[in-house]
Structure 1
Amino acid sequence: MNVDDLLDAPRVDMPVVPGPVDCMPRVLAAGRVAPVVKVGYYGGTVWDVCDMELARAALADRRLSKDIELTPDWMRIPGAMLGGQPGAEVARAMIMSEGSEHARIRQAHAWIFTPRNTEKWAARLARLAEDLLDELAGEVDLVERYTYPLPLGFFCEMLGLPPELHPDLKRVTDSITYSPDQAARAGGAGALAGAVAGWISDPGPLREGVITSLLEEVQNDVITVDEAVTWTVSLVMAGYEPSASLIAATMFEALRQPADQRPRSEAEIEAWIEEILRVHPSAMHATWRFATEDLDLGGYFIPKGAPVQINIAAANRCPRGELADEFDPGASRGHISFGLGHHYCLGAPLARLEARVALGAFLSRFPNARLSDTTEVRWESEWMTRRIRVLPVALAHTGSPRTDHGRYDQRG
């Protein structure tokens, strides 16, 4: 490889601090500058891969490692790098590990996301959805009353957390992900880790679930206490928040359409959600990778040690052109919103299930609901994460009443 023959990626500006705005236009604009761009991040430089072909290559390239030990010193800022704490000397999380360690951690989590569990959880999600819908009337903020309470309640049940802990969990994860104050984000991360450590040291208040299962592994000397804490924190951060964002975006796009153009059949709902994942990925960028050697990526030079990001939002809209930005559930254009290769998201089937249940149950109950005429939809985001903060909806009259066991009629 002759470095002199390679291109130097152009530099672009991108919002790296959370704020009450939708950063998607700026994230997409970066992808129109060049297939690979450079972004300033806390005084350092990150290489951002925006092209779909190059993004797929980068996701599969083992020379772009997710090993947390490769994190450069300038990035080790508390509260700045999601997934970057704790250090490898404490415990490795699945998203920041490689090789045999990654395989071991992934295998230790695989039982959570089995098809049998997913089938069991479908019925529970449907009941939770119907219970929440029973409480809705008039004009409501769907984020506050439905799109967040549904995955939060379900995820807490999965972990084994009692209902009284749900508000605290939401408050601390909101702070970690969306506070513009770096100190608040760092404090939130510490508070969450401390809370999880407390649950593991005194599991009395817990119900049977993922945490008690991890605790059994600790008692059997299969995993360490630090691993149980770190893995639980990782599950919390990668669990309900992205699902809640996906559900909110799914509802938003449905409510923008006339009632007779919304998805009705199971197949239509599935196609709708795949298009949501393409156009509205909850994580606009993937988690971190680091170059283990000098790389030629599509003719662009990436130096050894460089932090690399995959711009999922921009890559999902390749090939470039007018149609790439259109929301079209019938186009089947594909996406990389759950990653690719050996780091493909284990929870992808569960996230899809949550969105299917949430959308199907809502449209069955409120087929003529619409976005509010008086209150605006509000977003918050930064270059990696994005969600609807307020989704005001006028429910109009209800559709079919709830059925036995909380199931919904997928035919509409």
Structure 2
Amino acid sequence: MSLVPDFMRKPGLMVGSQPDPEYARAMIMSDGEHHARIRRLHAPVLSPRNTERWGERVSVKVDGFLDDLEQSRSADAAEVDVVTDYTHRIPLAFISEMLGLPLEAERRLRSITDVMLYSSDYPARTEAVGALFGAVRDWVRDPAPLRDGVITGFLSASDGPDAITEGEVIVWTVGMIITGYETTGSAISASLYEALRRPPEDRPRTDEEIKEWIEEALRVHPPFPHPTWRFAMEDLDLGGYLIPKGAPVQVSIAAANRGPGEEADSFDPARKGQGHLTFGLGMHYCIGASLVRLEAQIAVRGFLRRFPRARLSSDTAVQWESEWMIRRLSALPATLT
């Protein structure tokens, strides 16, 4: 932690910031006993029982958003943007409920994340990261309007050997919003993109086929291709390249997921995503992976069954967006035939 540069230290300055350890430690940037402690404190939130219960809530939200799309089709809308009209609405609504946000707070979160994800004004995006941190800080410091949820649960664990501090509640909540919203929405979008660009007879039909399809989408289109920072503890020679002590190192999950010579457009349902590292590995394997998979399965299954003959728009292009840590679909125009 001593090698983390100053620009990463200020909470709210960047996605994935790592503040001083005295304020909070983030799970993905921690190791050893610190990582084990953070993981232990998150485990009850993401237990199998809770995951099953939250799956039921996701199903309710998916049905509602599918009804909205059905109404769009009935109104003879030429096309819909599957990203803004469906895939990212699901995890935003769910993470808001999971955190215990009332409607007004959910609207505030939506207004901030819309700028973070969709604005072409990059300075505004940077400001939105700070606004997200500020919003979470406000909710943590004045939780009275909140419903029971993750935030109030963390706040109630302020005593005992594993006492959680205010800074930790803020940093961990911001992390859950980023990973629970953006990555889940992107996984759903990529899975539906690969389906919509194929004829209906080549799309997944059974629950097992949908699971395998999503795994392959996670392999080929990891939402966070560069999620993990580490810093060289000493000068290192790696394949003939010098990595000096203190230099930041990022692992490319996108590259790790592919074999030598594999083409960029290499989605193959028969591979079933075998061996992908999109959720990490070992002690850093994503603790929320089961919940992300469940949300994606419910969302993809619901869409393909409600609109079995939907197809990509022939008039508007699909748009991909790549940034420093994130690669995602920013527009997925489709016709709900």
User: Higher mean Cα deviation, 214-223 or 265-274?
Assistant: 214-223
1:130 corresponds to 2:63: yes
2:140 aligned partner, one-letter code: I
2:203 maps to which residue?
262
Aligned partners of 2:317 and 2:333 also within 8 Å:
yes
Aligned partners of 1:248 and 1:388 also within 8 Å:
yes
1:196 corresponds to 2:141: no
Q: Which TM-score applies when normalising by structure 2?
A: 0.89
Aligned partners of 1:79 and 1:176 also within 8 Å:
no
Aligned partners of 1:173 and 1:237 also within 8 Å:
no
Aligned partners of 1:80 and 1:182 also within 8 Å:
no
Deviation at 1:232, TM superposition (A): 1.0
Aligned equivalent of 2:90, options 112, 127, 150: 150
Once residues 192 and 353 of structure 1 are traced to their aligned partners in structure 2, the CA distance between those partners, rounded to angstroms, is 26
Q: Which TM-score applies when normalising by structure 1?
A: 0.74
The DSSP-based 3-state class of the residue aligned with 1:146 is helix
Deviation at 1:165, TM superposition (A): 2.5
1:360 corresponds to 2:295: no
1:208 maps to which residue?
148
1:309 maps to which residue?
250
2:261 maps to which residue?
320
- Structure 1 residues 177, 82: CA separation in 2 closer, same or farther (over 3 Å shift)? farther
Highest relative contact order (Cα 8 Å, sep 6+), 1 or 2? 1
Aligned partners of 1:84 and 1:96 also within 8 Å:
no
Sequence identity, in percent? Answer: 56
1:231 corresponds to 2:172: yes
Aligned partners of 2:14 and 2:129 also within 8 Å:
no
The DSSP-based 3-state class of the residue aligned with 2:45 is helix
The DSSP-based 3-state class of the residue aligned with 1:349 is helix
1:97 corresponds to 2:30: yes
Structure ID, larger Rg: 1
Deviation at 1:380, TM superposition (A): 2.0
Deviation at 1:78, TM superposition (A): 7.8
Aligned partners of 2:204 and 2:210 also within 8 Å:
yes
Deviation at 1:298, TM superposition (A): 4.7
Deviation at 1:191, TM superposition (A): 2.0
Deviation at 1:330, TM superposition (A): 0.7
Once residues 49 and 124 of structure 2 are traced to their aligned partners in structure 1, the CA distance between those partners, rounded to angstroms, is 39
Aligned equivalent of 2:48, options 110, 115, 140: 115
Residue pairs, 1:249-288, within 5 angstroms: 249-288=190-229
1:392 maps to which residue?
333
Once residues 133 and 262 of structure 2 are traced to their aligned partners in structure 1, the CA distance between those partners, rounded to angstroms, is 44
Deviation at 1:80, TM superposition (A): 6.6
Q: Which ranges of structure 1 fall in alignment gaps of 5 or more residues?
A: 1-66, 397-412
Once residues 390 and 307 of structure 1 are traced to their aligned partners in structure 2, the CA distance between those partners, rounded to angstroms, is 32
- Structure 1 residues 73, 202: CA separation in 2 closer, same or farther (over 3 Å shift)? closer
Count of residue pairs the alignment pairs up: 328
Aligned equivalent of 1:347, options 278, 285, 288: 288
1:23 maps to which residue?
none
Deviation at 1:101, TM superposition (A): 1.3
1:60 maps to which residue?
none
Aligned partners of 1:79 and 1:183 also within 8 Å:
no
Deviation at 1:346, TM superposition (A): 0.9
Aligned partners of 2:10 and 2:18 also within 8 Å:
no
Aligned partners of 2:43 and 2:287 also within 8 Å:
yes
2:187 aligned partner, one-letter code: L
Once residues 277 and 294 of structure 2 are traced to their aligned partners in structure 1, the CA distance between those partners, rounded to angstroms, is 18
Q: Which ranges of structure 2 fall in alignment gaps of 5 or more residues?
A: 74-78
Deviation at 1:79, TM superposition (A): 6.9
Once residues 284 and 80 of structure 1 are traced to their aligned partners in structure 2, the CA distance between those partners, rounded to angstroms, is 20
The DSSP-based 3-state class of the residue aligned with 2:249 is strand
1:70 corresponds to 2:70: no
1:141 corresponds to 2:102: no
Aligned equivalent of 1:164, options 104, 123, 128: 104
